[in-house]
């Protein structure tokens, strides 16, 4: 497994661990690629999947060492989208066990999961607008179908931080548990699933996905590209790099 991602099976549950605690599990391209590959390459004996972070964070989001602040960053968004697609299309139930910060691209990944168990003290945030970014339109279309519109506007327009209980009330997480218990509770929710149930489970998840409607991606893809190329985007990313990468670790996206 690549540096930054650990994969283990306990019982019949696959644990995918974002493992770069020195950078609050910032999501590098290699980590994202390995995560997508693991999600798509599960063994038939695996009945469920838990995604979690190591240390005191789920993930601080994008690894700013790998962003340029230009239109080239669209390829990073494509890597994130590959992970969320693998989660949505997985025939297994995928749970996010959230402890600590879950920001930007990491929040997108967590919100793609079937359930989210949050430890006390955790929070979700997507501050993309502050970086001059129209977040991936395909991701926004998916999030807009799944979560209340008021919640989405607070999350995306204001970049609002949703602490554990507030995230629960807003519908962003399924359950809040004591700090440090998110993984255990996620496993408790999933470990009853048997191999015999997998066909019916996969069909049910597929039907739920099919019931969600589509949108016109071409217009919004072009609008995103325009903003990615804008001078304000370069300036915003450079400010974020100076403020956070050098002094406080990875910026949130």
| pLDDT for the residue numbered 2 | 67
- Whole-angstrom CA distances from 232 to 130, 133, 204, 213, 238 are 10, 9, 44, 33, 10
| pLDDT for the residue numbered 85 | 97
* 7, 182, 174, 146: CA torsion to nearest 10: -30
What is the pTM (predicted TM-score) of this model?
0.87
Residue 56: exposure state from Cβ atoms within 10 A (0-12, 13-18, ≥19): middle
Residues 6+ apart with CB under 8 A from 144: 152
Go through the domains of the chain in sequence order and give each one's CATH number.
Answer: 5-179 (3.90.226.10)
Contact predicate 66/253, CB 8 Å:
no
Q: Using CA of residue 240, residue 249, residue 31, residue 88, what is the dihedral sign? A: negative
Euclidean distance between CA atoms 103 and 253, whole angstroms: 6
- The CA-to-CA distance between both ends of the chain, in Å, stands at 25
Euclidean distance between CA atoms 28 and 190, whole angstroms: 28
| pLDDT for the residue numbered 236 | 76
Mean pLDDT per 10-residue section of the chain, whose length is 253 residues: 86 97 95 96 95 97 90 92 97 98 98 98 95 90 93 96 98 98 98 93 88 72 81 81 62 45
């Amino acid at each position: 497994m690549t540096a930054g991602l650990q994969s283990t099976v306990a019982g019949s549950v696959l644990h995918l661990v974002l493992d770069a605690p020195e950078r609050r599990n910032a999501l590098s391209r290699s980590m994202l690629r390995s995560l997508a590959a693991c999600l798509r390459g599960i063994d038939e004996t695996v009945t469920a999947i838990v995604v979690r972070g190591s240390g005191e964070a789920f993930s601080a989001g994008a690894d700013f060492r790998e962003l340029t602040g230009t239109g080239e960053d669209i390829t990073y968004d494509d890597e994130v989208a590959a992970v969320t697609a693998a989660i949505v299309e997985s025939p297994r139930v995928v749970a996010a066990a959230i402890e600590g910060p879950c920001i930007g691209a990491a929040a997108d990944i967590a919100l793609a999961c079937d359930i989210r168990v949050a430890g006390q003290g955790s929070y979700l945030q997507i501050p993309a607008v502050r970086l001059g970014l129209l977040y991936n339109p395909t991701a926004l279309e998916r999030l807009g179908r799944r979560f209340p519109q008021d919640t989405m506007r607070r999350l995306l327009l204001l970049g609002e931080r949703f602490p554990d209980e507030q995230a629960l009330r807003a519908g962003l997480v399924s359950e809040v548990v004591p700090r440090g218990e998110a993984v255990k509770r996620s496993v408790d929710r999933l470990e009853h699933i048997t191999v015999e149930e997998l066909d019916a489970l996969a069909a049910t998840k597929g039907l739920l996905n099919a019931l969600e409607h589509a949108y016109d991606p071409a217009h919004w893809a072009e609008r995103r590209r325009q903003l990615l190329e804008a001078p304000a985007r370069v300036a915003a990313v450079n400010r974020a790099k100076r403020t956070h990468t050098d002094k406080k670790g990875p910026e949130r996206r």
